[in-house]
Chain A
Amino acid sequence: MSTPYREQFVALADREGRGGERPAWLVARRAEAMARFEALGFPTTKNEDWHYTSLSSLAGAAFEPMAAGSSLLTPADVSTYSFGASLPTIVFVNGRYSSALSTMHGPPDGVRVLRLASAVHEEPTLLERYLTRIASLDEHALTALNTAFLHDGVVLHIAAGTQVSTPIHILHISDRAAAGGVTHLRALIVVEPNAKAMVMEQYVGLGAEAYFNNAVTEVSVGDGATLNHYTLQRESEGAIHIGTIEVRQGRDSHYNAFSFSSGGALARSNVYTVLAGEGCGCTLNGLYMLDGTQHGDHQTRIEHAEPNCFSRELYKGILDGESHGVFNGKVYVHPVAQKTDGKQTNNTLLLSERAKIDTKPQLEIFADDVKCTHGATVGRIDEMALYYMKSRGIATDTARKLLTYAFAAEALETIEFAALRDGLERLTLERYAGVEAGA
């Protein structure tokens, strides 16, 4: 099968062949990934995991390697995406590292932030151990495609015992020159034992153009370590965004993810974690706000592979216009994973008659001593709450917006990093309540 991606793959290999050496294992892994992608092809709606999300617009389009950014961006522009916090930030514009916009000086002690392109030379042992080892190619065509084109991105290494209380910010900006282009963004985050760190990965579109960002982030959370991982998807309204996060967790580790998404014409977020050490746990929360004809799909998979682990999940969605939301949360409990404690919730608020949600919680349990619950609600604004607020003198429109904000706030409250929590609350309040925050 010859696809535009095969030609691009050959071109990338040629270019790199001239530019410098790549480790043999990586070259082999990429070739394997390309073959795997070609064997799988883009998933169709016959694939159970893609039943509600059609990629026909992606499969039918020929996205070219993304052109370099043309915007005159300044560090001040970048800081508007940091929610008022001063964060070590590594910036990519249209898939290309920007040293001018990145503020990589002084990451905290114990934290190393590297470009993937150079890390393959500087940290060969680390990369060979983790890179492409966590995100699986076998069933995931888009991960395979990303891996085939793996050439740059970010490597974060948090040394054992390090405690960091502000996030490292990875910011991907797509400007108007991104139109018609594709990038395969990659990140590797390794948190060594007993460390605690925060990472914020953000995708921002500056225009309204159609482009395709296919991102993969691999995460290893070592024994006794904690990672708070925030993902913000605010792509342009024409964009296709596929973001996959795969996590491997060690004994007594904690992985806390929050996924915020409001952008893209077609967006899919995958968060897959394996609870691979006894006594570990994860919290996967998220908020999606869609309008117009946006399609937003969130898929999570939590694999309980060891006993005495917990998982918590709260995804909330606000759908307006003719938007279409999808939530599919899988919890898989292995026979050995006794005393598993799992709870999953998906709540959707429909603001219009034509907005639509498909929600599918899935529990597959093969152990006999577990506690797992799941629940999904789909509703409109609570008329009693609306009346209660009106009976206190608050106008209908204000009350309706405030209740919409309140719906979102329950999820946002779970964000530990205060500047982000407050920032997203403000953003939500402005969007739905049209007032300055002050709640």
Chain B
Amino acid sequence: MSLLEIKDLSANAGDKEILRGITLSVNLGEVHAIMGPNGSGKSTLAQVLAGHPAYDVTSGSVTYDGQDLLDMDPEVRAQAGVFLAFQYPVEIPGVSNAYFLRSAYNEKRKAQGLDEVDPMDFLDIMEAKLKYVDLDASMLNRSVNAGFSGGEKKRNEILQLAVLEPKLAILDETDSGLDIDAMRTVADGVNKMRSAKRSFVIVTHYQRLLNYIVPDYVHVLANGRIVRSGGKELALELEEKGYDWLTEPAGARA
């Protein structure tokens, strides 16, 4: 049975139609890459799955782990194991990373009927996870993402992923703005989290991230629809040929 079942999903931002009938099935343990040109709707798809309030689903359905995902509030989705690594992580001055992470961790435990962990025990958990993304423990005392470099913000997203251990991890352009070293660190963190009990949906514009996080499937999104699906070799083909051959409708060049 698939973990995520998207059927004919359409969504608007305001009056603008962005997703126009997406159908996609992700089984447990699989890694799916969603590629596409700017404006194709790939980030919107990621945000709709997380429950961003700016998007209205106009038709279609999303089933996650047997439940109607679209009927769940964003926090309920997260507690049920959905995680979105943001393209632009939000800065929250005044809330420490440690407090933020522990709150999120405990919310999930509460939803599972488990006891909350106290700050000292949580620190032990954190120490192991920090190594996943090569972050120093001092960042726990800093405000969430405030004053972080681009690379630190992205690593912080992967740190949260590692701490919250979601069942479905969605990465929205996690490689954007990173140099090759930072990207490799982030990719290593993701690879350590790969497991038969976890699925990934990786949204990316460029193929380069997929050299490090090798996907099982690649889908190309254009103009709000999936226009082609294939194996990891499709990513290489896109790298070589660009997107135009897939996105230009026949007869566009009159």
**Chain A residues proximal to chain B, CB less than 8 Å:** 382-385, 387-396, 398-399, 402-403, 405-410, 413, 438-439
From B73, B75, B96, give the contact of A439 (CB < 8 A): B96
A396 near B75: Cβ-Cβ < 8 Å: yes
B107 near A395: Cβ-Cβ < 8 Å: yes
Minimum C-beta distance from B144 to chain A (A): 8
A388 near B52: Cβ-Cβ < 8 Å: no
Q: Mark each residue of chain B from 153 to 166: 1 if its CB lies under 8 Å from any CB of chain A, else 0.
A: 00000001000100
Chain B: which residue is nearest A429 at the CB level? B99
Q: List 14 A-B contacts (CB under 8 A).
A: A382-B90, A385-B92, A387-B51, A388-B90, A388-B92, A390-B74, A390-B78, A391-B75, A391-B84, A391-B86, A394-B104, A402-B103, A405-B95, A413-B94
Known: A383-B53, A392-B104. A403 touches B99 (CB 8 A): no
B95 near A439: Cβ-Cβ < 8 Å: yes
Residues of B within 8 Å of A391, CB to CB, are: 50-51, 74-75, 77-78, 83-84, 86
**Chain B residues proximal to chain A, CB less than 8 Å:** 50-53, 73-75, 77-79, 83-84, 86, 89-96, 98-100, 103-104, 107-108, 111, 119, 143, 160, 164
From B98, B100, B164, give the contact of A389 (CB < 8 A): B100
Known: A390-B74, A392-B78, A394-B75. A405 touches B94 (CB 8 A): yes
A387 near B99: Cβ-Cβ < 8 Å: no
Residues of A within 8 Å of B89, CB to CB, are: 388
A392 near B164: Cβ-Cβ < 8 Å: yes
Chain B: which residue is nearest A402 at the CB level? B95
Residues of B within 8 Å of A394, CB to CB, are: 75, 103-104, 107
Known: A392-B160, A393-B108, A393-B111. A387 touches B103 (CB 8 A): no
From A383, A393, A405, A406, give the contact of B104 (CB < 8 A): A393
Residues of B within 8 Å of A392, CB to CB, are: 75, 78, 100, 103-104, 107, 160, 164
User: Within the assembled complex, what's the spacing in Å between the Cα atoms of A387 and B50?
Assistant: 10
A410 near B103: Cβ-Cβ < 8 Å: no
User: Within the assembled complex, what's the spacing in Å between the Cα atoms of A244 and B108?
Assistant: 49
A387 near B52: Cβ-Cβ < 8 Å: yes
Chain B: which residue is nearest A410 at the CB level? B94
Chain B: which residue is nearest A437 at the CB level? B99
B93 near A406: Cβ-Cβ < 8 Å: yes
Residues of B within 8 Å of A408, CB to CB, are: 94
- 4 shortest interchain CB distances as A-B pairs: A406-B94, A393-B78, A409-B94, A439-B99
Chain A: which residue is nearest B141 at the CB level? A439
B92 near A406: Cβ-Cβ < 8 Å: yes
Residues of B within 8 Å of A413, CB to CB, are: 94
Residues of B within 8 Å of A438, CB to CB, are: 99, 119
From B90, B99, B107, B143, give the contact of A393 (CB < 8 A): B107
Given A390-B74, A393-B104, A410-B94, 15 more A-B residue pairs with CB atoms under 8 Å apart are: A387-B53, A388-B89, A391-B51, A392-B75, A393-B75, A394-B75, A394-B104, A394-B107, A399-B75, A402-B103, A403-B92, A406-B93, A409-B94, A439-B96, A439-B99
Chain B: which residue is nearest A435 at the CB level? B103
Residues of A within 8 Å of B92, CB to CB, are: 385, 388-389, 403, 406
Residues of A within 8 Å of B99, CB to CB, are: 438-439
Residues of A within 8 Å of B98, CB to CB, are: 439
For A384, A393, A410, the residue with the greatest tally of chain B CB atoms inside 10 Å of its CB is A393
Chain B: which residue is nearest A406 at the CB level? B94
User: Within the assembled complex, what's the spacing in Å between the Cα atoms of A294 and B119?
Assistant: 37
Known: A383-B53, A393-B104. A403 touches B78 (CB 8 A): no
User: Within the assembled complex, what's the spacing in Å between the Cα atoms of A387 and B79?
Assistant: 14
Minimum C-beta distance from B75 to chain A (A): 4
Minimum C-beta distance from A410 to chain B (A): 5
Residues of A within 8 Å of B79, CB to CB, are: 393
